[in-house]
Amino acid sequence: MSGRVSLEASGVSKVFGGIRALDNVDVRVDEGEIHGLIGPNGAGKTTFFNIITGFYRSDGGTLTFQGEDISQSTPAELAQRGITRTFQNLQLFEEMTVAEHVMVGYHRHGTAGFVAGLLGTRHARQEHRRAVEMVDATLERFDLLGIADAFATELPLGHQRRVELARAMALQPKILLLDEPASGLNAVEAAELMELIRSIRSGGTTVMLVEHDMPVMMGLADTITVFDFGISIARGTPAEVREMPQVIAAYLGEETDD
């Protein structure tokens, strides 16, 4: 909404064997907006996220973040630059507490090296103390303080999603990609989630969101891009997109959950 481009993909393609999961798609995400990405199952939304976050390489086209080429970066490098995501199927750390998850998210702000860590130098200890403070703040924000010492993988799904979100936010990302964060949540949880996502955006983080839950999407997104069979078929505000014939065609018989 600020008008500056955060993430821009043009001509991005991905072929798996015979399947063109993405075919020459163009997506532009502006800084500070909540950008929705919708499309039927198999449209290529997750694949697109995988390309942006460096898990897959695009088979062509260009990919820039804040004007710089990121098409060859690894996930870890992208995370260091401020791009991170959550997963459609959760990816949590086993045998780590909620607080530790958040602390790992804070990892990129640490500077003490391994040897310092092993030897327990002053620097390492101070850094640890700072991290603990930061973690408490994040836990509070995501309402996780009460379960800070629980093992994340043992929590109910709704909590796990919040842990993943909190972990991602601990990174203090510039752009956060959320892949179906509301799936499996009940209505109350979904409403809480919408609030959280809004607060993330107001904290200055650009959000890109994939979501099948149309009410959630329509209520949150500033701009929406629509994929179908690997092609970007539409772009506009929720109100505009909802009326587009090609979108209606793509969703014919699909939109049962409204």
Tokens describing residue 161: 């999603």
Q: Per-residue x/- marks for Mg ion, 30-69, CB under 5 A?
A: ----------------x-----------------------
> Hey, how many other C-beta atoms are within 10 angstroms of the C-beta on 96?
17
Written as one letter, the residue type at 214 is M
Q: Does 54 bind ligand ATP (CB under 6 A)?
A: no
Evaluate whether 175 touches 7 at the Cβ level (below 8 Å): yes
How near is the Cβ of 22 to ligand ATP at its closest, in Å?
8
Give me the residues paired with residue 83 across strands.
175
174 interface partner picked from another protein, ligand ATP, Mg ion, none, CB below 5 to 8 A per type: none
Decide: 168 and 85 in contact? Cβ < 8 Å: yes
Give the strands of the sheet with 34-38, arranged side by side. Answer: 83-85, 175-179, 206-210, 34-38, 223-228, 231-236
* Per-residue tokens: 215: 């009410």
- Least distance from C-beta 133 to another protein, angstroms? 13
Least distance in angstroms from the C-beta of 213 to ligand ATP = 12
Cβ-Cβ contacts under 8 Å for 240 (sequence gap 6 or more): none
173, 105 Cβ separation under 8 angstroms? no
Q: Which residue's CB atom is positioned nearest to Mg ion?
A: 46
Site string for another protein, 95-114 (x = CB under 8 A): xx---x--xxxxxx-x-xxx
CB under 5 to 8 A by kind: which of ligand ATP, Mg ion, another protein, none does 19 bind? ligand ATP
List binders of another protein among 53-82 (CB under 8 A). Answer: 53-55, 74-77, 79-80
Give Rg (Cα) of the chain. 19
What is the nearest approach in angstroms of ligand ATP to the Cβ of residue 109? 31
Query: Residue 102 and residue 142: Cα distance in Å, rounded?
Result: 11
Residue for token digits 């909190």? 166
Question: Residue 159: which of Mg ion, ligand ATP, another protein, none does it interact with, CB under 5 to 8 A by kind?
Answer: none
- With contacts defined by CB under 6 A, name the span among 3-11, 28-36, 44-52, 231-239 that binds ligand ATP: 44-52
Question: Interface with another protein by CB under 8 A: which range of 23-31, 165-173, 185-193, 210-218?
Answer: 165-173
Task: Tell whether residue 184 is a contact of ligand ATP (CB under 6 A).
Answer: no
DSSP state at residue 205: -
The listed partner (ligand ATP, another protein, Mg ion, none) that binds 151, CB under 5 to 8 Å by sort, is another protein
Angle between helices 98-105 and 157-170 (to 10 degrees): 30
Q: Which amino acid is at 137?
A: A
Q: Is 84 a binder of another protein (CB under 8 A)?
A: yes
Tokens representing 100 are 């530790």
Binding mask 18-57 for another protein (x = CB under 8 A): -----------------------------------xxx--
- Residues found near ligand ATP in the complex (CB under 6 A): 16, 19, 21, 39, 41-47, 88
